[in-house]
Each structure stands twice: as C-alpha cells, then as structure tokens.
Structure 1
Amino acid sequence: MLMKQIPLCAAALIAALLVEVTILARLHLPGAVPDLVLVVVVGLALVYGPRAGCLLGFCGGLLVDLAPPSDHAAGRYALVLTVVGYAVGLIRREAGQLRSALGGLLAVAAATVCGTLLFAVVGQITGDNGTGHLPLSELTITALIYNVLMAPFVVPAVMALARRTVSDPVARTLGGSAESAGAGGGGGPAAASGFAMPRIRAPRSGARLGRRGGSVKLKGGYRR
C-alpha cells in the first residue's frame, strides 16, 4: 500500500466502526448488528486487491474486537475479516471498477455469509461462546439482509474514493491493452508504448509499375 492510501483506509475503517458502534448497534434491530466495517473492507479490497484486502481486513476486524461492547475474544473477528478481505481482493477488476452494481452486492452477500459461518467455526474451535445467544441461521440471515441493504450506498462511494489514490489507473489500463495488442500482433516496442504502427498496403495484383507509353521497362534494359 502507498502512503497516500493509508490515511484514506484508516479514516474509512474508523468512521465505519464509529457509525456501527454509536448508531447501528443502538437501533436494537432484530438479529445481528449491521456490519458496516465488513462492507467497507469489501469496497476497499475490490480496488486494492488481495494483499491490501488481507491487511485491511485484519485491521478492521481488530478494531471491532477491541471496541466496546465486544463480547468475544480479541483476534477472532480479525481472523475472519483477514480471510474475507483476501478472498474479495481476488475478484478485483482492472483499475478497481465493477461492470455493474450487482457485483458489489454479490461480493457483500458472499462475504457476509462466509464471514458469519467462519466466525461461528472459529468460536467452536477456540471455545469462545461470544455472541452465542442467537441461532446461527437467524444471525446469518439478518446480517445478510442488513449488509446487502447498505451495500449500494457504501460500496460505490468507498470504491470511488479508493480509486483516487491509485496512481493513474486509466493510463495503466490503456498501457496494458497496448502491450497486449503489441504482443499479439507483433507490433514491437512502438505498439507496447501505446502507438500503433501504420500499415503499408501491398500493391494490387496486376498493377504495373513504371508504365511508359504502354510498355514496362524490365531488368537488363529490355522492353516488353
């Protein structure tokens, strides 16, 4: 990650945590608490890729583990979001852009279901019964509904801000396309730099060169 990306990521994760703890948790919605931190991690991972998504997932999950009123062991949700951030980063599109809003919704939905199940599995393995007062099915369904409802508003905004910190994504995409065209068409260095070599048209079949008075001068000085 670049230095100019760190402040944006830190601000996004902290703001998501504050909104989740001070507003969403106090709404007392049935079932799970809307997981705004997970939605933000998904949006950032879709732009920055798997390695940054892994790191951001760990940091965001650790913030959730340490923020009150957390009732589970520290590090449990950090592990979950680390895996989620890495997995979501693997489906990143070129220049951090999605073809449609449905891609963001599906990414959030898959991350929510897998994250909830992984959180329960880790709790069973470690013997941590935090948030065990709700049935797993109810916890998964309600978390899925809340996160998917937030996704159309949060994911595009987070991705738009994150793309601003990526160094010239448009030029990078055009350069990659030019390199691919140069490699596939034998364009050489000029094609790889983004400039297409002009094509030289071959003379038409049957065309005669050097016509003078209805005859063509051939090699050796003879005429036909």
Structure 2
Amino acid sequence: MRIRQVGAHALLLDCTTPADFPEAALVEAWRSELWRRRERGDLIAVEIVPAARTVLLDGLPDPTTTAQQLTRWASDVAAATTRPNQANAEANANAEDEDEDDDAADVVVPVSFDGPDLPAVAEHWGVDVPAVRQRLTSTRFQVAFCGFAPGFPYLTGLPAELALPRLATPRPRVPAGSVALAGPYAGIYPGASPGGWQLVGRTDLVLFDVAADPPARLGPGTTVRMVAA
C-alpha cells in the first residue's frame, strides 16, 4: 500500500497488488475497514471513495495524522484479506450455511435477459445462452465502486476467466437499466448514455435518484443478486 497526499485535505491509498491477487479484494478490505473506523469515530473523513485500485479519503482535518493511522491499521486490513484460492475455498465450504440475514440484505435486481450481446457472451464463454443466464443469476455480486456515470455500479463476483472485452465500437446510446458485462465486471446503466459494454439484459430498477438519500441505489459494498424477470 502506498499513501499519497492529494491537495490539502485528502489522501489516496494505492492498492496495486501482485498479479495473483486482485486489487478489488484489497480495495474492498480497506473500504470496509475505513467505513467501520469512521462509524466508530476513529477516523474523521467527509468522503471515502473506492475505485478499481485506489481509495480516496477527502475532507481530512489532518492528513499527516491520518496517514499514520492508516499505517497502523494496515495489519488489520491484511488480516481481513485472503488470497483468492483461500477465499474461494472458504466460500464453497460455507455456501450451504449462508446466513438468511445476509441474503435478506442483498438488493434483488429483476432482469429480462434479452440483451443484443447475449449470444456473443455465450460464445466467448463457450456455453449456451441459458448457461449465461444461470451463471448471472447464481452469482452473488458486490458493488466494488461507482463511476463512469452517477450511480453506475461496478459489480464484482464473476471468475477472472470470464472477463470480457468491450465492444470495438461503443454504442452511441445505451438504454437506462441495461445490464452489461465488460472486463471482470458486471454493470447496470442508471441512465441512457453512450457505452461499450456487452449488453445481456435490462431492468426497470431505478438506480439513481437525486431526490433519494442516498441518491445511488447500489453504493459500494452493496451485495446484489440478479433474478430473471
């Protein structure tokens, strides 16, 4: 982990990791720890913003003191982070014992799996279209971070070998609610916009509402399950 000061009141944690360890796991460990510390009053920060490989802390009264705290907390984060093989083994061992309260906390996203790129995704994965639907509805996703557009969630949970390329030519307009795949992520377009992700379905769930609190329906750390609409 590298800590960099950004301006007068912010720090950037660079969570770049070895090739066999996904940055998303370390970023999520830091996000969870920092949110927990802030709730306990151990950390004063206006914003804690995860991204693909970094976590930004903004609104810090004393970045130097906070940097020292981060160094002390690094061992706690390391203890909470396991390497992928170990994590997968533990997840498989405990799959049948998942707590019902955890399931209840998931945001359920009804999806009509009729996206124009569904056949291409199936071909890339070497399966048929029903198998793509089955994979997506059996995966428990988690929002790693939001970006690209307000309320656009980058969802982790798919195996690395299922990563997909973006379209060679982005579409000038992707409809709101489009469920899509690109790289290692799944995502849902909160509003109509250009986009180059592979479209596999659509949902009527409203993902971003400026009048809501919070405005983004799927914020970092939220667990998500897709179900066939």
Q: TM-score, normalised by structure 1?
A: 0.21
User: Is the helix fraction higher in 1 or 2?
Assistant: 1
Considering only CA atoms, is the larger Rg found in Structure 1 or Structure 2? 1
User: Is the strand fraction higher in 1 or 2?
Assistant: 2
